């Protein structure tokens, strides 16, 4: 099966929100649920200002932390995309804590995120957001073809944006959303290194075995205590990861 990917060209996004509306309508999302968030960004100092739109969505990491920590298999990889089966989600919120992009949300007690329009693409169509983008900022196809197009666009952009680059080729094992960026990822509020190996490794070695026993207990009782305990575990690990990252940055600056 071919591995697919999105092309997301930030330099061409005009903030029209056609993708947001098409996604919500095509996927029949209920009120309060949204897979794509457009955020206006301004860079530089007056009068030398430039702007763009952050197209915040699931980036479909190959090495997906959310998939690794999901205890029920609700999150899984398929065709290069990170899918979600909400029917088997128990709302533990591990995915919301583990994701380096802060993408999944708990809506109505279950995880909510883009699944790359699985039903539409399985029928031979394109994702709803791609179908409606008026500026060719979005495309969908085989990953190698998307990568080649992204590199072509970056080379053309460098005359105006010297720091233009491809983002997603290798980050988090390679993203399913290949981005054309006009500037450094940190400037555009994207993590330069979105990997979270400490969090996931600690989860697999320490928290996951404990979580399994807690889940068994929750079935016998009410499940409330187990979910709270698991979430507290993940928050502690996240704080530990942030502390170690800060310490490493301070050490590198000395």
| pLDDT digits 0-9 by tens, 185-197 | 998 999 998 876 5
- pTM for the model: 0.78
CATH number for the segment(s) 4-181 = 3.30.70.20
Domain boundaries, the chain: 4-181, 197-253
pLDDT > 80? residue 236: no
What angle (nearest 5°) sits at the alpha carbon of residue 9, between those of residues 8 and 14? 105
| pLDDT digits 0-9 by tens, 168-184 | 999 999 999 999 999 99
């Amino acid at each position: 099966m071919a591995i697919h990917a999105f092309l997301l060209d930030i330099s061409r996004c005009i903030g029209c929100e056609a993708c947001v509306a098409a996604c919500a309508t095509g996927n029949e999302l209920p009120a309060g649920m949204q897979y794509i968030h457009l955020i206006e960004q301004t860079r530089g100092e007056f009068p030398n200002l430039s702007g763009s739109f952050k197209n915040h969505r699931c980036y479909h990491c190959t090495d997906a932390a959310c998939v690794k920590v999901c205890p029920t298999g609700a999150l899984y990889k398929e065709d290069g995309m990170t899918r979600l089966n909400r029917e088997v989600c128990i709302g533990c919120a591990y995915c919301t804590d583990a994701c380096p992009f802060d993408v999944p949300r708990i809506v109505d007690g279950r995880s909510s995120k883009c699944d790359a329009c699985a039903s539409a693409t399985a029928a031979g169509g394109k994702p709803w957001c791609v179908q409606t983008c008026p500026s060719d900022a979005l495309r969908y196809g085989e990953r190698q073809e998307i990568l080649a197009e992204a590199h072509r666009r970056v080379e053309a952009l460098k005359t105006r944006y010297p720091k233009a680059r491809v983002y997603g080729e290798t980050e988090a094992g390679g993203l399913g959303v290949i981005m054309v960026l006009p500037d450094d990822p940190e400037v555009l509020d994207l993590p330069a290194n979105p990997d979270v190996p400490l969090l996931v490794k600690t989860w697999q070695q320490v928290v996951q075995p404990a979580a399994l026993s807690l889940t068994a207990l929750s079935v016998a009782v009410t499940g409330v205590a187990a979910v709270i305990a698991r979430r507290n575990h993940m928050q502690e690990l996240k704080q530990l990861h942030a502390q170690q990252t800060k310490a490493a940055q301070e050490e590198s600056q000395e």
